[in-house]
Every structure is written in C-alpha cells, then in structure tokens.
A and B are shown apart, each in its own frame.
Chain A
Amino acid sequence: MVVSPVHLIAAPLAAAFLIPLLNKLYRDAARVVPGVVFLYNLSVSWILVNRVFRSGPIVEVIAGWKPPFGINLVMTPFSAVLVMLVSFMAFVIWLYGFRFKRSLKGGVVMYYEILQMMMAAGSLGIILTGDLFNMFVFVEITGITAIALTAFYRDRDGAEAGFKYMLLGSMASVFLLLGILLIYTQTGSLNMAQIAERMPAVATGVKVTALIFLLISLGTEAEMFPLNGWAPDAYSQAPSPTSAAFAAVLGVAAIYALARVGFTLYDHGTVSGFLIAMGFLTMLFAEMAAITQTNLKRMLAYSSMGQMGLAMIAFGIGSEAALFGALFLIINHAIIKSLLFMTGSYFIYNLNDKRLRALNGIHKRLPYVSFLFALGALAIVGFPPFSGFWSKFYILTAAGAKQMMPLIIGILAVTVIEMTYYLRVIGRIYFAKEESEPASHKPSIQALVAMTSLAVLIIVLGLYPDLIAGFLHRASMFLLDKQTYIQTVLHLS
C-alpha cells in the first residue's frame, strides 16, 4: 500500500484504541506498542519528506471530498520538516521513557503510554491539517492529553499545575473556537487555503478580532508572554518524558500553528510587529524569571519559554533568512531541551530533590549524564561548536539585514542572562563541593541510547549545518509563498 500523510494519524489512533485489549493479552503491550507505532510513523514520514522535497507538496483528501468541501491534509516542505522532527523526537522520547515507572503494574502505565502517544499524534495532526476546525480538534486532543499528563503525579503540586493548565487551556480552546466561528461567518469556509483566498474581502473589524482570538489561544499553547502561566508548573510537575515532549512535540506544533495563522490565513505584515514585540517580551521575562529559579525543572521550563519567544521574534521578522533561523531554532530547541530534561530528570531521580542546590558536585556520581547535561546547556546558550550557535546566528543576521539594531542588542543582552544561569548550573555540577552520597539509579540502557543519540545530533548539526540547510531553505521559502499554497490545495487536478 502506498503511504500517505493520513497514516501518521490513523496508526496511533488505531493503536490507542487497541492498547487496552492488547494489554490484557500481554502485560507489557502498552510499553511496546507506542514504540512500534512511532517507528512506523518515523519511516512513513521519512518516505513522505523525500517525496515532498522531490516532487512538491502533497495534498491528501479525506473522505473523498475535494477541498474546500472535505477535510484535507497538506504536507508542504515547511510542515514536512516539522513532521519529521516530531516523529523523530516522539520516538526518542518513547525510547527514553521505556522503563518509566517499572515498579507500577498494568493499568496506570497503560494510561500514561496512551496519553503520551496521543500527544504526539495530536501534534502531528495540528501540523498536517489544512482545515481550521480540524486543527481545533487536534488542539483539543493535545490539550486534554497534556493536562492529564501534568496531573499524572497525584500530589498537591501536580493537581495545582493540572488545574492551572486546565483553566488556561480551556480558555484558549474557547477563544480558538470563537475565532474560527468569526472567520466562518465571513468566509463561509473552514479550509485554510480558501480562507486565505477570501480573507482580503473580510471587514477589517471582524478580521482583527478573529486574529486577536486566534493569537490569544495559539499564544497560550505556544507559551507567549502574558499567557504562559501554565508552563512552568506543567513542565516541572509532569513526568520527565512528558516535560521533554512538551518542548519537543507540543511546542513545535504550537509554534507551527501560530506561523500558519500568521503567514497563510493573514498577511505576514499584519502580525509582524506584534510577534516581534510579544516574542521579545516573552524572551525577556522568561529569562529573567529563569535566573531567579531555585528548582531545576522550573528553570528549564522558563528557558523553554525564552526559546519560544526567540522563535516568535524570528517569525515576526519574516524574511526568508529569519524563517530559516526560526526553523533551525525549533529543531535545535526540540533536540537540546529534550536532552536537558532527560538528563536533568536523572539528577532529580537520584537526588530526590528538585532544587538546584542539590546538584552540587553531582558529576562524580553521574559523570556521563552530567557531561550530556553540560553539553546541552552550552548548546542551548549558543556556544559555537554546537548546533544552538547557528540558529541564534542566523536569526541575528536576519535581524541585521532588516536594520533592527535595538532588537539585536536586546537578544544579545538576554542571551547573557541565559548564559549566566546555565553556566551557574554547570558550575554547581562540576566545581561545587560534593555533599551527597553515591548514586543509586544508573540510567537504563534505552535512556542512554536516547540521550546519546540526541547529543550526537547536537554536535553533528553544529559541525555540519549544511546537512539540513538545503531542506530548511526550501521549507522557509514555501511558508512565504502563500499563493502556491492556495493554488496547490484548491486546484487539485
């Protein structure tokens, strides 16, 4: 059978419904099945990415009704790159969490595995869909799973984090629905390409209100500044593979949705200034909050928000070079932040203490994990031999090309803050006096493989950015080319 984009969503759905049955037949089915699904998805997306870059975008019609009447999945070079990234990261995170909660029997692990798998499937749906309401459905799927996973540890903090996330998440859903409703009343269509085509004719007041609603809701998901109150709690209370997935899977989908609304539904010029301003505020406040944190996972969470802010700035600048930088940044952030959460969780697991103070001298007990954490920390700040350097470099160059001096100074200043707190943690790990007893939990072999492969990727992409640069250039060019998107989707032969 020929593969098509819908496999990426249908396979996890079928598996999610099957897991409760399989789990009755074989005890570890819930742990194994998601891996099989992710591996399948990874190979499907590899084939599809190759096809997209060889012979142009793929539009898949669902239920046999051509757009704009039916729902359709669109795989442009831009979404193909992100689909590949999400499929890959979902697999690596599954590998990392393979032995998660081995002491617990059956039921609860099954629930966790189903939720974790569907978070990836929902994110793939957000990236693939060409229909605005379908996107809402997938946003719901990711939202529900993310909330349930945040509250997974049933302690006081977990419940608080889950509740906060639920309030903000459902408010975001309502605003998204209102925005879609407004757009539908004006354009009579839910298909993104047709909306994009008809948008210029819509009255300005309605257009702007709808845009504000969409930005509020997607901004909440993408951790934009005043709306990101859920993020630090959710990142720090969720199980560690979930924290990694928030950064590497959910975050990617959220920022994609923001870009799709900004670049395809609306004209880039409308949202440019807003994205730059909000992105910078997000970055500034997040990094300033990060430096005051005493809890490792909260610090990483704030750093995630900072990176999201930088991505928003890059999308705001909106030149081809800036989009290239933004894509590079999204890829880097997914890889590096997952590595940081994975290694950081092993510190916490061993110390049974989330505070930074407890990290003193831990490199003697977990030398390899500490080394990987330090590598990730240096990479995310943007030290030259690592991949993080290139994304910041390209974004700054793009800002320079547009004569945005204050922005460049701002980004560099915030980077200094970022560097300060990451170097401080590295200092604690390597140079502070040890005050704790030997390690009791060595990483599992699966986790070691997962973390090492991410670290290798960071170095390889740092040394040879050209490996993916060609793909990213074409992807960012395609995002800018709104007319081709409309033509491809609406005028299927």
Chain B
Amino acid sequence: MIKRSFVVFLLLVLGVAVYEAFRQAPFGQNRIGDVENPQSVSAFYLKHSPETLHTANSVTAIVVNFRGFDTLGEVTVLFLAATGLASILYRRKEEEEAAEKGHLPQRIQLPSSVLVRTGAKILFPLILMLGIYVFVHGHLTPGGGFQGGAIIATGFLLMFITYKRFNVNHNVLIWLESLSGLAFVLTGVYGLISYGSFLQNTGWTGRLNDLISGGLIPLIYIFIGIKVGTELTNVLDTLLHTKPRRNE
C-alpha cells in the first residue's frame, strides 16, 4: 500500500514536471520567423527546399537531404531490428523444422474463403502499385520511402494470411535489401567524392514539381522504399512461418 502510494506520488511529480515544461512550449504559434531573421532552422528549410533543391515536398527535402544522415541511421535501425529478430528466431526455425517434418507450417489452420482469396489476388498488385507510387512520388506528394515500403509489406502480409503456400523468394529479398541499402550509402559516398560532403545533392535539381527533380532525393527515396519494403516483408516472413519445404 505504502509502496503503491509512493509510486503514485512519483508519477504525479513527473506529470507535473512534464506538464509545466510542455505548457511553456508555444504550440500553434508561429515560431519560425523569416529567413532574414530566423528564430529556428525551419525558416531556412522552407526557403531552400523549393528554391535550391527544387523539391515540392519540404518534409522529404528535410528527411532525405538536410537531415539525410539521420535517415540513413533510421534505415540502419530498421535493418538491425530485423537482423536482431532473425538472430533470436533463427535457431527456433531450425528446431521446429526438425520437429515438424511432414506438417504444414502452423500459421493457418483453415483455408481462407473464396471471397478472401479472390479479393487478395485482385488487391495484391494494386497495393504494390500504390506502394511504388508513394515512394516514387516521395518528393512531390505526402509520403515517401518509409510509407511506400510499409504499404508494400502490407500487400505481402495480405498474401501471407490468405494463402497457405504463398512463399517469397528469400534470395531475391536479401539481394534487393542489401543492394538498396548499399546504394544509399554509395549515393552518400558519391557526394563525398564529387562535392566533398557526404550525401550532398547534385548541382542539377531539375524543375520544381517535375517527376524527375530534386537531384538525388527521389533516387534515395526509391532505395529506401525498396529497402523498407523488402525488410518488413522479411520480418513478417520470419515471424509468420517456419521455413517451408520445397515439395509443398
């Protein structure tokens, strides 16, 4: 009882501190200032994404170019999370394989209905197309590599839960995943070699609002899209089922 009230008391203290601190944060006010007299870095970003980078979506310009190094880090975090998951589940996969010779993977007990199967078949290519659209147009419309990749993985999830025997080719996944990650780093190295700064954009950035504009920004977002899509699919695959045998 005493312990519990002590915990409640501590939580209250924490709550008051957080409330007091965030009460002073000027949410909803214009704190950006203007470029000549900037109060925060945002003014600079808003000016330079259309004018210098020719990127219509300034969020993308910030994520991929101004703070591209963070994004490379976040891609790595996802990659490491998938790797860590695989390292923990790896041996279980082997054990179960040995134990379950002659059984189907346990993920589905009953076959899905005709409705679900037909619907999934129709939706799957459309979902993939939407995903690709989202990351290809990352520099023009809301969304981008992470979102597009997640949409693609949703398409695969739909197929995994609908069809018992839907398999993805692991080799293709691993190649796509590694090469797109590597391509991201190499784009950075390209900037380092030709302009002297890691991840620096090319001088040629095209016309605002064109599909091919923003220099390297759309290219990097395509790499991210492929990487996130294959990675999340891989994670789902690792989580959902044990490695299926050839003859099924």
Contacts and interface: CB of A to CB of B under 8 A. Distances in A.
Contact of B66 (A70, A125, A178, A212): A70
B74 A209 contact: no
B25 interface: yes
B204 interface: no
B39 A151 contact: no
A109 to B, nearest CB: 9
Contacts of B17: 209, 212
B178 A64 contact: no
B3 to A, nearest CB: 15
A1 B193 contact: yes
A21 B174 contact: yes
A185 B42 CA distance: 12
Contact of B174 (A16, A20, A149): A20
A278 to B, nearest CB: 17
A144 B73 contact: no
Interface stretch (A112-120, A358-366, A385-393): A112-120
Interface in B180-227: 181-182, 185-186, 188-189, 191-193, 195, 197-201
Contacts of A125: 73
A244 B72 CA distance: 27
A10 B189 contact: yes
Contact of A63 (B45, B86, B174, B201): B201
Interface stretch (B77-85, B113-121, B126-134, B135-143): B77-85
B41 A69 contact: yes
B174 A6 contact: no
B69 A134 contact: yes
B65 to A, nearest CB: 6
Interface string A145-187: 1011101101000000010000000000000001000100111
Interface stretch (B87-95, B100-108, B145-153, B156-164): B87-95
A253 B66 CA distance: 25
Contacts of A210: 21
Interface in A13-71: 13-14, 16-18, 20-21, 24, 60-65, 68-71
Nearest to B195: A64
B68 A62 contact: yes
A65 B72 contact: no
Contacts of B185: 10, 13-14, 17
A118 B41 contact: no
A62 B68 CA distance: 8
A137 interface: yes
Contacts of B41: 68-69, 188-191
Tell which of B20, B195, B198 has the most Cβ of chain A within 10 Å. B198
Nearest to B181: A17
Given A188-B40, A189-B41, A205-B21, A111 B83 contact: yes
B44 A69 contact: yes
Nearest to A12: B76
Contacts of B21: 182, 205-206, 209-210
A197 interface: no
B83 A205 contact: no
B80 A118 contact: yes
A187 B39 CA distance: 8
B18 interface: yes
Main secondary structure of the interface of B (DSSP, over half): helix
B198 A148 contact: no
Interface in B4-43: 17-18, 20-22, 24-26, 31, 38-42
A20 B177 contact: yes
B80 A65 contact: no
A480 B18 CA distance: 30
Nearest to B31: A188
Contacts of A69: 41, 44-45, 66
A141 interface: yes
A63 B80 contact: no
B165 interface: no
B166 interface: no
A151 B90 CA distance: 12
A384 to B, nearest CB: 43
A115 B80 CA distance: 7
B67 interface: yes
A121 B40 CA distance: 30
A17 B180 CA distance: 9
A133 B70 contact: yes
Nearest to B177: A20
Interface in A425-468: none
Contact of A64 (B18, B83, B201): B201
A232 B67 CA distance: 36
A194 to B, nearest CB: 8
Given A64-B191, A133-B70, A144 B198 contact: no
Nearest to B216: A63
B182 A134 contact: no
Contacts of B45: 69
A341 B18 CA distance: 41
Contact of A144 (B31, B77, B197): B77
A107 interface: yes
A115 B179 CA distance: 19
A210 B41 CA distance: 20
Given A21-B175, A182-B22, A203-B24, A108 B90 contact: yes
Contacts of B39: 188
A148 B193 CA distance: 35
Interface of A: 1, 4, 6, 10, 13-14, 16-18, 20-21, 24, 60-65, 68-71, 107-108, 111-112, 114-115, 118, 125, 133-134, 137-138, 140-141, 144-145, 147-149, 151-152, 154, 162, 178, 182, 185-191, 203, 205-206, 209-210, 212
15 contacts: A6-B198, A10-B189, A60-B198, A63-B68, A63-B198, A69-B66, A71-B67, A108-B87, A115-B80, A115-B84, A148-B85, A186-B25, A190-B41, A206-B24, A209-B20
Given A133-B67, A191-B41, 13 more contacts: A13-B76, A63-B191, A63-B197, A63-B199, A64-B195, A111-B87, A114-B83, A145-B80, A147-B84, A148-B88, A178-B18, A182-B22, A209-B21
Interface of B: 17-18, 20-22, 24-26, 31, 38-42, 44-45, 65-70, 72-74, 76-77, 79-81, 83-88, 90-92, 171, 174-175, 177-179, 181-182, 185-186, 188-189, 191-193, 195, 197-201
Closest 5 CB pairs of A and B: A188-B40, A148-B84, A111-B87, A17-B181, A137-B73
